[in-house]
């Protein structure tokens, strides 16, 4: 059954060529497994890489892009991409995760962390039941997972909260764990 996969990720490429390589490969694997992509609409960074991975393999891409960013950033312009312009970052985020069947988080900056923690918090309070996966490329998320253990150790969250997401360093392993 075809599913719409939301990918949260950076508008930058990061300090390793492997981030871009994995983002492109994730896009291709999404298509190989018969799924489509919904993402933040950027044409650069890991956002652009994952979208081009999907589009170059003949897959369906839905881009959700805030109007106010048009002055400073380029929305993806690839044939066959469905672009939805929205008025704010909040509306973009909610549209992406609401329309998706699953969430995958690639490396990224503060915006990516905001997106990840919003769906994680919604899951914690019982308002989100879709699978969430961290694609832990180059051990990018190891410090974050360590910090999550610290939060639990200090009793600000329960150990069960770690079951709200999958943490894998391999695309196939992550998609399999998420039943995608």
**Cα angle 139-49-88, degrees, rounded to a multiple of 5:** 95
Domain ranges of the chain: 4-177
Q: What's the rounded Cα separation, in Å, for the pair 51 and 43?
A: 8
Higher pLDDT, 81 or 147: 147
**Which residues share a beta bridge with 79?**
none
Strands 36-39 and 166-168, bridge-based pairing: unpaired
CATH of the domain spanning 4-177: 3.40.50.450
- Contact of 124 with 161, CB cutoff 8 Å: yes
Q: Whole-prediction pTM value? A: 0.96
pLDDT, position 58: 95
Report pLDDT digits (tens) over 54-71: 999 999 999 999 999 988
For 110-139, b/e burial (b = at least 16 CB within 10 A) is ebbeebbebbbebbeeeebebbbbbbbbee
| Angstrom distance (rounded) from CA 127 to CA 23 | 28
What is the predicted pLDDT for the residue at 77?
83
Q: In this predicted model, what pLDDT tens digit does every residue of 71-118 receive, in sequence order?
A: 888 888 887 789 999 999 999 999 999 999 999 999 999 999 999 999
């Amino acid at each position: 059954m075809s599913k719409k996969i939301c990918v949260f990720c950076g508008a930058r490429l990061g300090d390793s060529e492997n981030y871009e390589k994995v983002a492109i490969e994730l896009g291709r694997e999404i298509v190989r497994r018969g799924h489509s992509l919904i993402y933040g609409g950027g044409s650069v960074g890991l956002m652009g890489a994952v979208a081009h991975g999907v589009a170059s393999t003949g897959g369906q891409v839905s881009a959700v892009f805030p109007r106010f960013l048009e002055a400073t950033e380029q929305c993806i312009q690839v044939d066959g991409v469905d672009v939805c312009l929205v008025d704010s970052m909040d509306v973009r985020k909610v549209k992406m995760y609401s329309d998706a069947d699953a969430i995958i988080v690639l490396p990224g900056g503060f915006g990516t962390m905001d997106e990840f923690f919003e769906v994680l918090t919604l899951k914690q309070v019982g308002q989100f039941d879709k699978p969430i996966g961290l694609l832990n490329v180059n051990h990018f998320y190891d410090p974050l997972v360590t910090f999550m253990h610290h939060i639990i150790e200090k009793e600000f969250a329960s150990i069960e909260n770690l079951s709200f997401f999958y943490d894998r360093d391999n695309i196939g392993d992550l998609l399999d764990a998420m039943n995608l």
